[in-house]
Amino acid sequence: MMPGANSAPASLTATSVPPATSPHITVLLHEAVDALQVRADGVYVDGTFGRGGHSRHILSKLGPQGRLIALDRDLAAIVHGQALQDVRFSLVHAHFSALSHVLDTLGVAAVDGILLDLGISSPQIDEGVRGFSFRFDGPLDMRMDQSRGQTAAEWLAQCSEKQLTEVIRDYGEERFAKQVARAIVKEREDGHAIATTGHLAKVVASAIPKIEPGQNPATRTFQALRIFVNQELEELALVLPECLRLLRPQGRLAVISFHSLEDRIVKRFIQSEANRDDLPTGLPIRAKDLPQPRLLPVGRAIKPSANEVAANARARSAVLRVAERTQVQ
């Protein structure tokens, strides 16, 4: 039996959290959903519900027998999604790396399409208490899932200078990572714990010798800490192979990335699966000659139109990649 609207496994159901009120504009709404080629009776996954823009558009294309399962690690998104009452729709509080477990629990063995929108939502950025943005002075939290894990402030209170340098360099692509890490650790050793976004932004700014025009000097460090705290790249690397396994033949995977680190992982995964030949050399047949799942790219990467960027500046860095699972005969 199909679960009712917003149903979830008991162990994954969200607790009560005040919903976010900041507006959110869904990026590449039509392009991403169109890429899934939604069938009226198909089963689809929205791996990052956010504020439900993509989910609502998918539901508009489904018939009575269709089904949509949405996930989000943010409890505020789950609470917001409870307003979406539809018998075809299930909403689960979970990281998308738990996709296989969620679908098993819901009795779903395979799906016709999976959409992953990797961007941080406007409500997350615009609510100072979440700690994602240097534009507001609030607690330095940065967790997308506030029910688990260390906050950014907690990690900064105990990490080594070497660890911090590596995170800021690798996840923020900050060329002054060493100077920033040294300044943060010195501030801590001087007895000034960094517990707010304003405090962190000030320390970072003091350590950057050359500020890029039009960009806050704390931008890259904030990105790095957010990615690290939420294990965003690890989550992505875990879910992509699961997507291939869960998709039916001719099922589509659509992934929207917002920075080069994410996009590189997605691009390389699709390329590696399209070109995979994992049998030892010297055999009379190769892996490409055997029936097995493949993930083939569909067209070129898609970017927002000039009109979309003009209407929503946060869309400017988005990249949509689409791939289709096929069966090599």
pLDDT tens string 28-82: 999 999 999 999 999 999 999 999 999 999 999 999 999 999 999 999 999 999 9
Of the ranges 19-28, 66-75, 233-242, which one carries the lowest mean pLDDT score? 19-28
How confident is residue 128, by pLDDT bands cut at 50, 70 and 90?
confident
Both tokens of 66, joined, read 């269709």
Copy the structure tokens of residue 148: 């688990």
Q: What is the pLDDT of residues 179-224, one digit of tens each?
A: 999 999 999 999 999 999 999 999 999 999 988 888 899 999 999 9
Q: What is the pLDDT of residues 81-117, one digit of tens each?
A: 999 999 999 999 999 999 999 999 999 999 999 999 9
Q: Among 2.60.120.260, 3.40.50.150, 1.10.1140.10, 3.40.50.450, name the CATH number for the domain at 10-123+232-327.
A: 3.40.50.150
Q: What is the C-alpha to C-alpha distance for residues 30 and 53, in angstroms, rounded to an integer?
A: 10
CB 255, CB 116: distance < 8 Å: yes
Contacts (Cβ under 8 Å, ≥6 apart) of 285: 279
Q: Enter the tokens of residue 43.
A: 């089963």
Tell me, what's the pLDDT at 294? Answer: 82
* Position 123 confidence tier, pLDDT thresholds 50, 70, 90: confident
In this prediction, residue 289 has a pLDDT band, given cuts at 50, 70 and 90, of low
Residue ranges of the chain assigned to CATH 1.10.150.170? 146-229
pLDDT band at residue 292, thresholds of 50, 70 and 90?
low
pLDDT score recorded for residue 125? 81
Give the per-residue pLDDT at 163: 98
Tell me the C-alpha distance between 126 and 189, whole Å: 31
Write down the mean pLDDT value for the chain.
88
| Domain limits, CATH 3.40.50.150, in the chain | 10-123+232-327
Determine the Cα–Cα distance for residues 228 and 298; give it in Å rounded to an integer.
Answer: 31
Looking at domain 146-229, its CATH class is mainly alpha
The yes-or-no verdict on residue 131 having pLDDT over 50 is yes
| pLDDT reported for residue 214 | 80
- Model-level pTM? 0.86
Average pLDDT score over residue span 153-180 = 97
Residue 7 predicted with pLDDT over 60: no
pLDDT band for position 16 (cuts 50, 70, 90) = very low
Q: Please give the pLDDT value at position 24.
A: 72
Q: What is the mean pLDDT of residues 275-294?
A: 58
